Amino acid sequence: MVFSSLTFLLLFLPLLYLLYFARSSVRWRNGVLLALSLLFYGWGEPVWILAMILSTAVNFCCARAITRTEKEHARRWILALGVIASLSFLLYFKYSAFLVNTFAALLSLPFRMDPPRLPIGISFYTFQILTYTVDVYRGRAPAQKSPLRLLLYISCFPQLIAGPIVQYGDVESQLGERSVSPDDFTAGMQRFVKGLAKKVLLANVCGAALEELTLAGSGQALSWGGAWLAVFLYGQQIYFDFSAYSDMAIGLGKTLGFTYKENFDFPYASHSVTEFWRRWHISMGSFFRDYVYIPLGGSRCGRLRTIFNIVLVWALTGLWHGASWNFVLWGLYFGLLLILERFVLRGLLARLPRFVCWLGSFALVTISWAIFYYTDLPAVAQHLAALFGAGVSGLWDAAAGAVVRKYTLYPLAAFFLSLPVVPALAKKLPERLRDALGLLLSIALLAASLLFLVGQSYNPFIYFRF
Amino acid sequence: MKKRFSFICVYLCLLSLFCFGAGELLFVAKGERMSVSENRMLRAFPALRADTVADGSFMDGFEEYLSDAFFFRDGAAAFHDGVMGVFAVPDDGPETGVVEDDRLWEQSEEQEAAFQQLMESEQAAATPAPLAEEGGAEAPAAAVEARDVHVWLQRPDGAQEVLFTYPADSMRSFADILNRYRAKLPEDGHLYFFSPQVADIANNIIGKTKYTDWGTDLVDVLQPMVDEGITIVDDMAILSPYLNDSVSPLYPTEDYHWHAIAASLTADELMRMQGVAPADYDQYRYYLSYKHDGIAYSTDKLAQMHYGAEAIEIMAALSPAGSYFLNNITERQRTTFTMSEGGYVGFLGGHKGPWRLIEGGFHTGRNALVVGDCFTIPLIPYLAPYYDQIISTDVRDNFYSVYLAGANIGDYIAAYDVDDIYVVWSTNARFYSDNIQSRMSAYLDMQY
């Protein structure tokens, strides 16, 4: 089930609150939340609930064993068992076909493996399970005594399928005790509606506009302007799509008494690529920093080792997004930019005007979406070449012109809203007026989103596939 | 609580959502219904069984049902289109030969009233006469008794499961319409009618084991009711052997129109019926579209993500060929394949027109008229090599303008010396729909 579906909005959500707030005991609420979270996850692909439960069960047992074992050597082995068990699910479902086919191609073997069907959100919940076992191993959190409570942490529907990646230590106490005030509930719902509107009114429209453009791999040459328009639209779509999901998840979490960390902080306002990654998909960045980069030694082992760590982390970051070489390339592209900014350009960036830094960062990030979009490497190459004027059909093409005429203000409005202008203006308003306007806007956006959902059904979440 | 009023508002919004959802489940019809404006069947409440839940088809169907059953559905769609229009820059003119004419939208009250009157009279004519009461005057007996037409799926054991039924009275009036069209042709002219099934029907069979074939008694019922010079073609029988061809699938998975190959197979059979050896499928030029749509409803119900979409073959007319938008019988404007349109609607400007003229360029001395719904669009390229000219129109609501047409269909048939007519109405059109019973009938002879 997705948040931006009528099933969720008209039936699931009201039913959830009806049951959830029927009693005030945490035990009852956890039970309701767990049952409905499993329903939410199983809606569409019920069979994958078993994979999630199995993965949770293995890590529950491993964590319990870690706390009962005193020998460090044994604790490490148990941790390794939990990590390998979790990653093996991910490896099989997401990467087995990619790896087998890559090796088969390298060795010229005459077979090809079809990828297994991917359980929704497996990358997200696998990482969450890993944070649990590792946090228990590190002593950052106690092992959970109740397997159902651990399953609730993993399956809690707001963040289950597209993040943010919630680290166990951040919500461990909330699983046992939490409360929701009417103000929290109101603020949470308003945040949810904001996310819904971003998804339905902006991301979907940018996606629809993108679909009407001539793209690489279609057998036609791209125009220079069309190529830039395509990556700009995709950049807007993916930002509003993903940040919308995070908004909805954080908002829903708030209405249920959970506090999730922010996942986006106006990344397109960044003045460097480094800053961009501090503002974009923050929970994933934190995961890789805390659970991969720092354990590898981080930046404490000399320049060469730091560069190696950065390259490895960013290759893994890219691979996390999908089992395809374009994602690895995309990760390495950012790894390279981060290394350059860190070791070569730091002084230059400090001297350049802020606007130039912003423009350069925005352009570099926008270019990266061409790598991210196509899983077909020749198409990536064609689009990248077109961005720099190579092999283009001209400056502009009819399809791009038609898209600009048809959608015109949407991408512009999306771009404007992707920068922190509105929050800055809102801060200048008196609090009561701001609240009143916020409420009116939320109601209007909810109504408009519903009508849009019925009026058009271009509604998939991009990050579902990761 | 600082924000009591806000909380009450949020609470009321949630309550409203629930009332909407519960209301839909309780009060909206659960069966399949026709949406004439969209030319498709609205989703029925999906079957709730263990297997449909396990494979997720219940959930998919349920979401579609909620969307299709939404109160004020047309209003919501109009709101969506309206907002999209507000944020767009008005088009300065056609990109590639799109006919722009204010008359399409700005109709005088007199014109509107006259048109409504005509439509009402056609609807009245299409309504079957009430059965004679016992002892009263008998209704005139039809020359051939009309029967219901069934479309069914066949199980491996040979048992047939009826999918839907077309009522006998609508078949009788449809036969009369076909006869009237045939009467416009010269003596050696011929009219062919067939009804392609949409992908939703085929998907019961493709890759499945529960059903192995499909069938209909359309030919058995309709053929005896029509005049000489009309052939009712069993398109389901033509496509049946190819249903499970995974190399060249007949239908896209994300759309319920047909692929070019299915149209080609049907056209080939039509040509063989006429004693003509059809051109090979591979002799045609094809564009591959990676766009999601490939359909008339390009940005709406069926849109999928780019990466989830499959390539859809788009047909290009054989070269040399000319294609034009056509109105007022002779006003033509050249049009070409437009990538910005994409998919079905990309071919020759799709539904725009309201008439289109295609020149095959092979000088065969014969001309044809193709009339029906969007399933006609991919068929035309495969007919083009056998005719000097093909004129084509889609008479459905939203796709036809009596004012732009400037003349009735009979006038077009006469003006273009049409020899053969191909009538193509897909499953979705339904024989009892206004598009067939009223519009197709009314536009043939309406007075200008």
Domain residue limits, chain B: 9-78, 150-445
DSSP string over B206-245? TT-SS--EEEE-HHHHHGGGSPTTEEEE-HHHHHGGGTT-
How confident is the model at residue B296, as a pLDDT?
25
Candidate from B5, B9, B21 with C-beta closest to A10: B21
How confident is the model at residue B253, as a pLDDT?
64
- The Cβ-side half-sphere exposure at A32, using a 13 Å CA radius, reads 19
DSSP string over B357-402? EEE-SS--S-EEEEEESGGGTTTHHHHGGG-SEEEEEE-STTT--H
Candidate from A45, A205, A451 with C-beta closest to B56: A45
CB spacing of A181 vs B1 below 8 angstroms: yes
Active site residue A321: yes
Q: In chain A, whose CA is at the least distance from the CA of B2?
A: A183
- CB atoms under 10 Å from CB of B209, counted, come to 8
How confident is the model at residue B129, as a pLDDT?
40
How many Å lie between the alpha carbon of A30 and the closest alpha carbon of chain B? 21
In chain A, what are the domain boundaries? 22-179, 184-465
Say yes or no: A410 contacts chain B, CB-CB below 8 A.
yes
The structure tokens listed for B180 are 């009237």
CB spacing of A439 vs B79 below 8 angstroms: no
Cα A123 from Cα B138, distance rounded (Å): 74
pLDDT in tens, A272-328: 999 999 999 999 999 899 889 998 888 888 889 999 999 999 999 999 888 889 999
Q: A114: exposed, middle or buried (C-beta count within 10 Å: 0-12, 13-18, 19+)?
A: exposed
**Catalytic site residue from A73, A271, A281, A321:** A321
Identify the residue whose tokens are 């990590």: A83
> Given CA atoms B294, B297, B301, B303 in this order, what sign does their dihedral have?
positive
Cα B429 from Cα B419, distance rounded (Å): 25
CB spacing of A14 vs B15 below 8 angstroms: yes
CB spacing of A456 vs B80 below 8 angstroms: yes
All residues at 6 or more sequence positions from B212 whose CB lies less than 8 Å from its CB, including other chains: B154, B155, B156, B205
Cα B25 from Cα A7, distance rounded (Å): 11
Q: B171: exposed, middle or buried (C-beta count within 10 Å: 0-12, 13-18, 19+)?
A: buried
Q: In chain A, whose CA is at the least distance from the CA of B338?
A: A399
Do A132 and A63 form a contact (C-beta atoms < 8 A)? yes
pLDDT in tens, A328-360: 999 999 999 999 999 888 888 888 999 999 999
Strands B322-327 and B355-359: antiparallel
A181 interaction partners in chain B (CB closer than 8 Å): 1
Strands B230-233 and B190-194: parallel
Cα A78 from Cα A59, distance rounded (Å): 10
Do B312 and B377 form a contact (C-beta atoms < 8 A)? no
**Integer angstrom CA distances of residue B41 from A6, A175, B59, B90:** 19, 47, 18, 32
Q: In chain B, whose CA is at the least distance from the CA of A191?
A: B10
B56 interaction partners in chain A (CB closer than 8 Å): 44-46
* DSSP structural state of residue B307: G
CB spacing of B95 vs A401 below 8 angstroms: yes
In degrees and rounded to multiples of 5, residue A299 shows phi and psi of -105, 20
SS (H, E, C) A162-210: CCCCCCHHHHHHHHHCCCCCHHHHHHHHHHHHHHHHHHHHHHHHHHHHH
How many Å lie between the alpha carbon of A42 and the closest alpha carbon of chain B? 9
Do A260 and A159 form a contact (C-beta atoms < 8 A)? yes
B14 interaction partners in chain A (CB closer than 8 Å): 13-14, 17, 189
How confident is the model at residue B184, as a pLDDT?
94
Q: pLDDT digit of tens for each residue in chain B (448 aa)?
A: 566 777 788 788 888 888 887 877 777 777 766 554 454 556 778 888 888 888 778 888 888 888 777 777 766 766 766 676 666 554 443 333 333 444 444 455 665 666 667 667 666 665 544 333 333 334 344 457 778 888 888 888 888 888 888 888 889 999 999 999 999 999 999 999 999 988 878 888 877 778 889 999 999 999 999 999 999 999 999 999 998 876 677 887 666 678 778 888 999 999 898 888 777 766 665 544 433 332 222 222 223 323 333 444 444 433 335 677 787 777 776 655 444 444 454 444 455 668 888 876 667 788 999 999 888 877 887 888 788 889 999 888 777 877 778 889 999 999 999 999 999 998 777 777 788 888 899 899 887 7
pLDDT in tens, A149-167: 999 998 888 888 776 888 8
The structure tokens listed for A310 are 């950065």
Residue A354's identity, in one-letter code, is R
How confident is the model at residue A409, as a pLDDT?
76
Strands B355-359 and B389-394: antiparallel
Cα A104 from Cα B348, distance rounded (Å): 44
All residues at 6 or more sequence positions from B93 whose CB lies less than 8 Å from its CB, including other chains: B100
Q: Which residues pair with B314 in a beta bridge?
A: B287
How confident is the model at residue B351, as a pLDDT?
53
**Integer angstrom CA distances of residue A232 from A195, A207, A382, A412, B257:** 21, 11, 16, 10, 32
A376 interaction partners in chain B (CB closer than 8 Å): none
Cα B220 from Cα B200, distance rounded (Å): 24
How confident is the model at residue B119, as a pLDDT?
66
Q: Which residues pair with B424 in a beta bridge?
A: B194, B372
- Which residues of chain A are under the pLDDT cut of 70? 163, 214, 217-219, 398, 455-466
Q: Which of B1, B2, B3, B352 to mutate to test the interface with A (most CBs of A within 10 A)?
A: B3
CB spacing of A10 vs B83 below 8 angstroms: no
How many Å lie between the alpha carbon of A449 and the closest alpha carbon of chain B? 9
Do A66 and A75 form a contact (C-beta atoms < 8 A)? yes
Nearest residue to B351 via CA among B99, B121, B14:
B99
In percent, how much of chain A has pLDDT > 70? 96
A15 interaction partners in chain B (CB closer than 8 Å): 18
Q: In chain B, whose CA is at the least distance from the CA of A463?
A: B305
The structure tokens listed for A430 are 């008196």
How confident is the model at residue B212, as a pLDDT?
87
Candidate from A211, A401, A451 with C-beta closest to B292: A211
CB spacing of B88 vs A190 below 8 angstroms: no
CB spacing of A439 vs B9 below 8 angstroms: yes
Candidate from B7, B290, B307 with C-beta closest to A186: B7
Considering only residues 424 to 443 of chain A, which have any Cβ-Cβ distance to chain B shorter than 8 Å?
435, 439, 442-443
Cα B350 from Cα B376, distance rounded (Å): 10
- CB atoms under 10 Å from CB of B86, counted, come to 8
